[in-house]
Copies of this chain bind each other. A is one copy, B any other.
Amino acid sequence: MQFEITKEYIEKIQQLITEGKNETLQHLLEEVHYADVAELITELETDEAIYLIKLLENDVSSDVIAELDEDDRENILKGLSSKEIAEELDELDTDDAADIIGELSEKQKEEVIAHLDDVEHAKEIVELLRYDEDTAGGLMAKELVKVNENWNVLTCVKEMRAQAEEVTRVHSIYVVDDNDILKGRLSLKDLLTTSTRSPITDVFIKNVDSVNVHEAADEVAKIMQKYDLEAIPVVDEIGRLVGRITIDDIVDVIKEEAEKDYQMAAGISKDVEADDTILELTKARLPWLVLALFGGFVSVSILGGFSEAMDNYPVLFFFTPLIAAMAGNVGVQSSAIIVQGLANDSLRGSLFKRLIKEVLQSLLNGFVLAALLMSAGMFFLGFQFKVGLTVAISLISVIIIASIIGTFVPIILDKRGIDPALATGPFITTSNDIFGILIYFLIAKLILGF
């Protein structure tokens, strides 16, 4: 059932563009879903893409433009005049139109808005531009179906038919009073099964979840997931219905949150993709590497401080990468579990209980690993018992400390209102490298007394 964009297909399209065979192109793309056209567009050269966008009917090209990545869209919009952009936006729902306008320069923004044909639509888009994109207001669309609580079912159906023309998909019918205050919702099912003369007041569901227009986007996502909602009405400070958010927008929020956490854990500080430029990729990666480098300098100094151990116990220095790696891995594991727990609101119990749990768990992991280390060390690597014991005890201590740091840094960050995901990745590995090596040599000095 899925449309596959092959190399041959792309070449064919490119040839038709070169030859200017507009009718063949239009005919060929008529049956193709806008999401597939968007995918095709990203495979073309920018001038070819612009040619195609201009060729398509506005109701298709606008959806294609809305579907594109921000970077791809930017390239294409550069090839369109403000009037042409406005024509595309006239076809889009207010939320998509507002998102696209929000990406334009201040100057172009004004020009495009001035060119919008439908004044009502333009007013709604301008209203949406006022909200921060990470809030309910930034996610919502103005398109919705609403009825007055004083109507009867027949009036409702008539009004809904008119309103539904403007709305792509009817999720819910919202019920408001004369002041536009949200009162409840009407299910299509009830509407189908009720006598046309019943007053709406008898039919509608009075208890309806809603969010305030300033609610944070990730909070909206949590609410919609928890209560399994496919759409949620958005109200202003005094309870007036101002828009609605649908689940497909929330899917994007969830994906972005997850990608951001993942990138932070991997030490990438900006939202980048494999196909971004080398400079963009470097900007996202280099800061973390510089952090790791400075962390590395600290461990160089620590090791330098213990250089007297080299005379009698050179083998200690062979173990530093092992100790550092274990500290890093344990720390990342602990913090990842906490970061996910915080994201899902599933962290329960007191901090003290959590501390005990981490220590017990680390002891269990630590003893298993230390036993492995001792046996492997003595049988295969053949080093002294005393050195083996030193490394083993250090390993257990380092694992305990690393897991405590890994557990509590994200909790502390979260309490201070900082994204706990920041703690994972290079931050934890670097600090645990340093603590790990320091603890290791302190214990070695205590036991071996160099």
Report which A residues bind B (CB closer than 8 A): 1-2, 33, 35, 42-43, 157, 160-161, 164, 169-170, 188-189, 192-193, 209-211, 223, 225-228, 230, 247-248, 250-251, 254-255, 258-259, 261-263, 265-268, 272-275, 278, 281-282, 285-286, 288-290, 292-293, 295-297, 299-301, 303-304, 307, 310, 314-315, 317-326, 328-330, 332-333, 335-338, 340-341, 344, 346-349, 354, 357, 360-361, 364-365, 368-369, 372-373, 376, 380-381, 424-426, 429-430, 433, 437
Chain B min CB distance to A254 (Å): 6
CA distance A352 to B112 in the complex (A): 42
Of the candidates A262, A315, A321, A347, the one having the most CB atoms from chain B within 10 angstroms of its own CB is A321
CA distance A262 to B336 in the complex (A): 8
Contact A210 B1 (CB under 8 A): yes
Please, which residues of chain B bring their CB within 8 A of the CB of A267?
A: 329, 332-333, 336
Chain B min CB distance to A287 (Å): 11
For this complex, 22 residue pairs linking A to B, each with C-beta atoms less than 8 Å apart, are A1-B209, A1-B223, A157-B192, A170-B188, A230-B248, A251-B251, A261-B262, A262-B262, A263-B340, A266-B424, A273-B340, A274-B354, A281-B361, A286-B368, A288-B333, A292-B326, A293-B322, A296-B326, A297-B381, A300-B319, A320-B320, A321-B433
Chain B min CB distance to A333 (Å): 5
A268: contacting residue among B266, B296, B337, CB under 8 A: B337
**How many copies altogether?**
2
Please, which residues of chain B bring their CB within 8 A of the CB of A164?
A: 189, 192-193
CA distance A412 to B37 in the complex (A): 29
Please, which residues of chain B bring their CB within 8 A of the CB of A376?
A: 297
- Given the known interface contacts A274-B346, A296-B326, A321-B433, the answer about A281 and B337 at a Cβ–Cβ threshold of 8 Å is yes
Please, which residues of chain B bring their CB within 8 A of the CB of A332?
A: 266-267, 425
Contact B293 A373 (CB under 8 A): yes
- A299's nearest neighbour on chain B, judged by CB, is B321
Contact B429 A329 (CB under 8 A): yes
A325: contacting residue among B247, B292, B369, CB under 8 A: B292
- A291's nearest neighbour on chain B, judged by CB, is B329
